[in-house]
Amino acid sequence: MQHLTGSAVSGNASDVTPDGSVIVGGVADLHGVSKPFRWTAAGGLVTFDDLPGGRDSAGARAVSSNGRWLVGTGSSVSDTGRRESQAARWNEFGEVEGLGFLPGEDLFGSGRYSYAYDVSDDGRIVVGVAYTSGYDNSEHAVLWTPEWGFRTIESVLLDYGVDIHAEGWLRLEAAIGISGDGRTISGYGSIQGLGTQGWVVTLPVPAPTTVAPLAALGLAAARRRR
């Protein structure tokens, strides 16, 4: 077992590749500087930078099964100078990219944020949760691709001809996991009369890059374990 060394005083490991060769998480020091890390047996623990202009308040939540991509949350500054939490993606060399936010203006003064919770094997599909006050003032399960940026899972399903409200769902609140091929996504949300429930959906092809309605998929629900 390898412990944290140097100026790091606390840390947590949040994910590991299937073969155990890569571990990711976050470390922090006494000054409140928090950074994501990537650990390998050969290279040890290597920390990565926050987003440009961030306040060194970042961490990795998940790693792709091949160990090449990390996703999590970084900090950024809005055009008005507001500090924001923004979903981020790092490659294995530490290069960082902010994934942005749901569209919409800050209508209620409560800002916006996005968090990345998991990533496909090729790094091109990221899932998580996002909030923008001008986007109906609610948290949403979201999916990110380079072509579209962040979209709600609900809107992605509509592209495939599935209306979650017709199946009793009020809202899909967070997307927590995605399969390596980018087709199967799981999370939790609210369903009429049943409260918070888990959900899983399997797309016939990976997340669409063009709007092409297909046959209805169905949205499977399972009671969320507490």
d(CA 75, CA 94): 16
H helix intervals, 64-140:
none
- What is the CB neighbour count within 10 angstroms for residue 89? 23
The structural domains of the chain, ordered by start, are 8-223 (2.120.10)
Q: Tokens 């990795």, residue?
A: 60
pTM: 0.85
User: Which residues, at least 6 apart from 28, have a Cβ–Cβ distance to it below 8 Å?
Assistant: 8, 9, 10, 11, 34, 35
The residue with greater pLDDT, 31 or 210, is: 31
* Assigned token pair, 87: 């979903």
The residue with greater pLDDT, 144 or 213, is: 144
Region of 161 on the Ramachandran plot (φ > 0 left; ψ -120 to 50 alpha; else beta): left
H or E element that contains 158: helix 153-159
Structure confidence at residue 211 (pLDDT): 36
Instruction: Give per-residue pLDDT as tens, 166-218.
Output: 889 999 999 999 999 999 999 999 998 889 999 999 987 665 544 333 333 44
Structure confidence at residue 224 (pLDDT): 37
Report the chain's C-alpha Rg in angstroms.
18
Order of strands across the sheet with 112-119?
Answer: 112-119, 126-132, 139-145, 149-152
